[in-house]
Structures are given as C-alpha cells and as structure tokens.
C-alpha cells in the first residue's frame, strides 16, 4: 500500500536554487516537531522533484503551498490548504505556523470532498492577495527565462576567449568554433523575451496561453515593422523592439485573453472542446494579442528607451549614484522581487550590449552594469562567511556551518544563502549587506570591469575584462560588511553576557531562614507557568490592551526589564502574521533582549477579545503568551511554541483551560504540556 502523509506541500521560487529548498527543509523540520509526516514537492531549476502522487494528495489532511511560481495548485482543489509566497516559509517557526493554519483549515472547511466554492467560503482568509498572484505569474516567466539567459550569456562570453571579434570572419582573430559558440549563445539570448512572455501567460491561462505568449514576446523583440521609404506598416520593414518590459506586458495580456476566451466560448457544446483547444483558442488569442501588441509598440518602445536612458543617466551622475542604486536593490531582499528586478534589468542591458557589439558604448555600459549587478549579488553570502570565521564564538554552530556553505554559494552568484542571517536581525544586518554590496558595485564601475556573462560568479572570471580588479572590488565589499557584521554580533554577544549575572542575581531567592520542606513552593511553580502569572477574569477592548497588560505584568514579575521593548517585540511578531488561533485561543510570543528568563503568562477574558484576527473569526478568551530571551530564539522559543501549538490541537486541553477558574489548574495543565 502506498505511504500516506499528514501534510503535503509544494515549494517553488523564481530561480529554483535556494528559497525552494530552504522552505522544504523548514517545513520538514516543523512537521517533525509536531509529530506529523510530510512530503514536500519542490519546483526547482531542475524541474519537479519528490513529485506528489494523486493518491498522496487525496490521503493528506492538509496542504501547504509556499511558492512564487505556478505549482499546479489546481491539483489540490477542495483540500484544506494555505497558500503563501515562498519567503513566508523560510524559518522553522514560520513553516510551523503554516502547518498549524493548514490543519486548522480542515476543521473550518470540513472534509476534502466538499466543493471548491464551499472551501473558499470557509477559508477566505487563505486567498492569495492580488499582489502575490501578479508576482507569482511574473516570477514563473522569470524562472523559465533565466536558464536561457545564463546558457546564452555564458556561451557568448566564452566565445570571447579567442578574441573580442573572433566570431567575425573578416577579423584577424577569427575562429570558427568561437563563431559557432556566439551563434548558439545569441539564439539562446534572443529567446529570453519570448520565453518570459510565454511562461507568464502559461501561469495565468495554462497551456493554451503559450501560443499567444510566444507571439507577444517575438513582437516585443522586433516591434512594429515599418517601410523606411513609405512610412507604412510593412512586413519586410524594420521596427523598434521594446524588450523585456514588452515581454511582461505581452505575457499578462496573453494569459488574461485566454481566460476571457474560455468564458466567452463556454456556450459552445461539449463536442467542440477539441476544436476550441487546437483551433479557436490559438487563432483568436494570437490575433487579439498580436494586434494589441503591434498597436502599443510605439509607446512601449518609448517607455523602454526612457527607462534605459534613466539608468544611463544615473551613470552620468557618477559611479557612486549608480553603484549605490544597484547595490541596495540587490541586497535589500537577497533574491526576492527587488533583487530580481535589478538582475533582470542587468540581463536586459547585457542583451543590448552583446547585440551592439564589442567596443561600442552600449557594450561598455551594459557589460559594466552587469558586472556591478553580479558583484552586488556575490557579496552578501561572503560577508556571512567572513563573520562566522573571524567571529566564530558569536554564532551558533548552525550559523557557522551555514556561513561556510555560503562561501560556495557566493562565489557562484547565489545570494539567497545570506537570508537566514538577515531574518534573525533585520536591523542592522540589512543595512550592512546593502552597504557592502554598494561598495562592491561602486568599485566595479570605477575599475571599469566588463562582464559579458549574466551569471556564474567567479566561474566566468576568464571572460571578465579587468577580472582581478573585479575580485578586489568584491573582496573589499565583503571585508567591510564582514567587519561590521562581526562587530554587531560581538556587541550583541557581550551585552547578553553582561546581562547574564544580573539575570541570575535577580532570579536568585533572597536569603531567608530555613523553612520546613512542607512549605516549599508548589511543584507547578517549577515550570514555565507560575500561578502568579495566570490572570483570570480580565476585560480587554482589543489585542493591544492584552499585549500591553502582559508586558507590564512581566516587568512586575521580574521576567522582563522593559515593558515598552517587550510590547514592541509582541507587535513586531503580530505584524508578521496574527497569533490568533482557533476556538478562543491565541499564542502571542516575543523574543526580546528585555526578557530575562523564559516564561509563560496566561490571560483569560471570559467575554472575549473580538479585535484579534483569528483563524475561525471567534474572539480570543485565552492568550498564552510566550516570553523568550533573544539569546534563546532558536532553542527554547521553538520548543515552547511547538508544544503549545500541539496542545491546542487537543480538544480536551482546550476545554480544560477554558473551563478552569483556578490559576493553579491552568498552570498545571500547561506545564504538563511543556515538560
């Protein structure tokens, strides 16, 4: 009999290199912590791996989709599910929350056999935002396009090893093999825009949208052909292309035209389904999309030219301005949408450069721009490698191992390895990464480095003009960032070390006369929940009142030193996603330097706090607040959170805590689950 799983998941990111597998690992660890079985299907650059079977989908309790590309979500129709971007599942904590939400949706949306419409009504809060839908379609095109860009760009760059004009049969350095490499690389690069357009369209309208998508991409390359003599539209004339921007517009246009045609042609009898697929859809969609694309070619070409002129204008403002813009864009989200925008712009400039020919101003600017983008993408992982080597004692063993791996990732132009370091300390790690990437970009521009390959990192050094200076620029950026990152970690480490004796002193009991053993504190107060930290019969107007109350009580109890700092930590977590659960429970949690010892504070409001976003829309009656010292973020925090989340899946536990009007009973019940 085939194996079944409690949870099934699908992950996918635009490049299919790092985010996809980071999310897979986080989901697997989170499931293991909850005692659940899981199978994660990955949509990477090598295709679909660990593919889910129909039987596994049917048998699963719930589905987690963490993807920024099309993962054929229609397969999971009717299943309780949660759909988010891949960046929402890159940590064990975040992945665990997704699993909990997916399992909770099972109770709200009922069994998998219910119709999709009923499921949507019961889990409306799980619908994707419009922004994420658009981004997912766009990234589906980008992910398919990148492999053409990399293959074509690198082959074109390799052809230059025989000389910068070795592909030209009239040149003195001509080489027939180099010419063939240039031809192959050029064909691959020319497919960039049609593939981008086609797979944006395919993500929206599925396979029927590929035909108009490819046509739209080809029109974006050539523009509207006009006869130079007559000034009239002429199939034999020449047009002005509008590049990858036109490919994006054409892709979305093609996809939604197909969706519109599907609705319009629903009136046709079922017997004509085959005719629609092989004749009506491709014919009508290609006609409509083609006419629209040709009609907008002139304004789109003007927009494309204006955008390129703007970038060149930044260059005229000086290397610092252009390099700062490139560095900040590449490092702000390290492989996310802003980073991809900078990279795609670089590849577009490089495509123009290679078409213009070696030695031209366009070539020099485009290859210099690409070198700056590559430098900015390479630096962040190298910053983490420097920091974990020089400041080893300031990092956990897990961070140290990840930092060492990042040396390989960085050298091969894979930025995503630095993400886990940034997510632990957005401030000041993000500014450090942006500064170090900007330094590398600025120096690359100043040193006049020219990179004719769009990817590959140091693997393409042989074809990089002024390669040694490029390496120097990257090393300087990585060194500056590494020193700053190490200094921050040292400061953070020293602060925690100094706080430790004070915490121990505060926690130590005052000297008193010996008391009989019978007067010892109750056993329950040896756990995370002290009876004095259980508050019954409270009345709150909203979520923030609850969190403020918990923060102030924590300071009074000596488990926190700063109520405002603790409140800020609670709110920061709520901004990432509501901690409201189901059946009247919430699990607010804060990781903060203001917390002196791990503790749990429980608050009951029998009337219910309505102003708290919960999975089932019900008010919160019981808030089980977790307070964790920042130094225990990856250990005690995850342990407590997973155990409380697991306990809330037990109906008997929920009923006991909600019914109890004795602090000792509640403390005992929760401590038993946290043991």
The tokens describing 34, both together, are 């909850």
Q: What share of the chain is helix, strand, coil (3-state, %, to 5)?
A: 65, 10, 25
The Cα–Cα gap between 312 and 374 comes to 18
416 close to 423: Cβ distance less than 8 angstroms = no
State residue 238 phi and psi, 5-degree precision. Answer: -120, 145
308 close to 349: Cβ distance less than 8 angstroms = yes
The Cα–Cα gap between 231 and 225 comes to 10
Helix (H, G, I), strand (E, B) or coil at 12: strand
Q: How many CA atoms are closer than 13 Å to the CA of 17, on its beta-carbon side?
A: 18
151 Cβ neighbours under 8 A, 6+ residues apart:
185, 188
Closest CA to 653 of 670, 674, 671, 675: 670
The Cα–Cα gap between 429 and 425 comes to 6
- Per residue, the 3-state secondary structure of 32-70, as one string, reads HHCCCCEEEEEEECCEEECCCCHHHHHHCCEEEEEECCC
Bridge partners (DSSP) listed for residue 589: 626
64 close to 36: Cβ distance less than 8 angstroms = no
Element (H, E) at 627: strand 620-629
Question: Residue 592: is it exposed, middle or buried by C-beta count within 10 angstroms (0-12/13-18/19+)?
Answer: buried
457 Cβ neighbours under 8 A, 6+ residues apart:
374, 378, 410, 411, 412, 413, 414
Helices (H), 206-296: 210-222, 243-264, 273-275, 281-295
Cα 101 versus chain centre, distance: 19
The tokens describing 288, both together, are 């409509």
57 close to 76: Cβ distance less than 8 angstroms = yes
| From 13, 328, 330, 377, the catalytic residue | 13
The Cα–Cα gap between 109 and 122 comes to 5
DSSP string covering 513-550, please? ----GGGSPPGGGGSSEEEEEEE-S---SSHHHHHHHH
274 close to 220: Cβ distance less than 8 angstroms = no
Instruction: Determine the length of the chain.
Output: 675
State residue 233 phi and psi, 5-degree precision. Answer: -60, 130
The Cα–Cα gap between 321 and 315 comes to 7
User: Within 10 Å of residue 228's Cβ, how many Cβ atoms?
Assistant: 8
Respond yes or no: is residue 13 known to be catalytic. Answer: yes
Residue with tokens 């070696």: 358
224 close to 92: Cβ distance less than 8 angstroms = no
State residue 3 phi and psi, 5-degree precision. Answer: -70, 145
Q: Which residues are catalytic?
A: 13
């Amino acid at each position: 009999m085939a194996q079944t799983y409690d949870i099934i998941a699908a992950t996918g990111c635009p490049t299919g290199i790092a985010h996809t597998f980071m999310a897979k690992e986080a989901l697997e660890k989170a499931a293991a912590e909850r005692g659940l079985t899981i199978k994660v299907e990955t949509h990477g650059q090598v295709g679909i791996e660990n593919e889910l079977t129909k039987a596994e989908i049917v048998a699963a309790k719930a589905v987690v989709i963490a993807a920024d590309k099309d993962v054929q979500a229609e397969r999971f129709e009717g299943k309780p599910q949660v759909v988010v971007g891949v960046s929402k599942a890159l940590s064990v904590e975040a992945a665990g929350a997704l699993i909990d939400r997916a399992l909770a949706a099972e109770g709200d949306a009922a069994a998998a056999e219910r119709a999709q419409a009923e499921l949507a009504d019961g889990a409306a809060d799980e619908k994707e935002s419009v922004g994420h839908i658009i981004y997912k379609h766009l990234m589906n095109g980008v992910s398919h396009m990148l492999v053409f860009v990399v293959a074509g760009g690198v082959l074109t760059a390799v052809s230059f090893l025989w000389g910068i004009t070795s592909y030209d049969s009239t040149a003195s350095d001509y080489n027939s093999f180099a010419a063939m490499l240039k031809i192959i690389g050029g064909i691959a690069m020319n497919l960039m825009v049609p593939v981008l357009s086609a797979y944006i369209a395919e993500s929206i309208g599925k396979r029927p949208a590929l035909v108009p998508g490819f046509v739209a991409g080809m029109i974006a390359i050539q523009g509207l052909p006009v006869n130079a003599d007559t000034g009239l539209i002429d199939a034999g004339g020449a047009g002005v292309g509008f590049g990858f921007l036109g490919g994006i517009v054409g892709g979305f246009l093609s996809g939604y035209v197909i969706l519109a045609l599907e609705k319009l042609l629903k009136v046709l009898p079922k017997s004509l389904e085959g005719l629609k697929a092989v004749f009506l859809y491709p014919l009508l969609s290609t006609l409509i999309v083609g006419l629209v694309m040709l009609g907008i070619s002139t304004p789109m070409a003007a927009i494309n030219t204006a955008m390129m002129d703007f970038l060149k204008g930044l260059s005229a403002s000086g290397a610092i301005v252009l390099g700062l813009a490139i560095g900040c864009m590449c490092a702000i989200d390290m492989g996310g949408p802003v980073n991809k925008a900078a990279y795609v712009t670089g590849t577009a400039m490089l495509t123009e450069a290679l078409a213009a020919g070696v030695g031209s101003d366009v070539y020099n600017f485009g290859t210099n721009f690409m070198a700056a983008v590559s430098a900015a993408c390479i630096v962040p992982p190298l910053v983490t490698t420097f920091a974990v080597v020089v400041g080893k004692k300031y990092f956990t063993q897990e961070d140290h191992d990840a930092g060492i791996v990042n040396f390989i990732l960085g050298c091969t132009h894979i930025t995503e390895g630095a993400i886990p370091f940034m997510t632990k300390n957005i401030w000041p790690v993000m500014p450090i990464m942006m500064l170090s990437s900007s330094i590398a970009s600025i120096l690359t521009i100043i040193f006049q480095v020219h990179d004719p390959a769009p990817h590959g990192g140091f693997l393409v050094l042989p074809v990089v003009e002024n390669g040694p200076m490029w390496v120097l620029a990257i090393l300087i950026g990585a060194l500056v960032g590494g020193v700053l990152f190490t200094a921050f970690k040292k400061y953070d480490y020293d602060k925690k070390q100094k706080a430790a004796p004070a915490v121990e002193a505060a926690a130590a009991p005052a000297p008193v006369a010996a008391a009989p053993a019978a007067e010892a504190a109750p056993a329950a107060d040896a756990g995370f929940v002290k009876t004095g930290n259980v508050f019954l019969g409270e009345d709150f107007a909203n979520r923030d009142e609850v969190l403020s109350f918990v923060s102030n009580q924590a300071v009074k109890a000596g488990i926190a030193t700063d109520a405002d700092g603790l409140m800020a930590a609670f709110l920061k977590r709520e901004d990432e996603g509501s901690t409201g659960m189901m059946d009247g429970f919430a699990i607010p949690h804060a990781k903060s330097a203001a917390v002196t010892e791990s503790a749990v504070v429980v608050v009951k409001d029998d009337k219910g706090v309505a102003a708290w976003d919960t999975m089932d829309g019900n008010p919160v009656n019981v808030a089980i607040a977790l307070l964790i010292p920042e130094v225990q973020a990856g250990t005690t925090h995850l342990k407590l959170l997973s155990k409380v989340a697991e306990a809330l899946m037990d109906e008997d536990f929920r009923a006991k805590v909600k019914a109890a009007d004795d602090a000792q009973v509640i403390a005992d019940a929760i401590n038993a689950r946290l043991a």
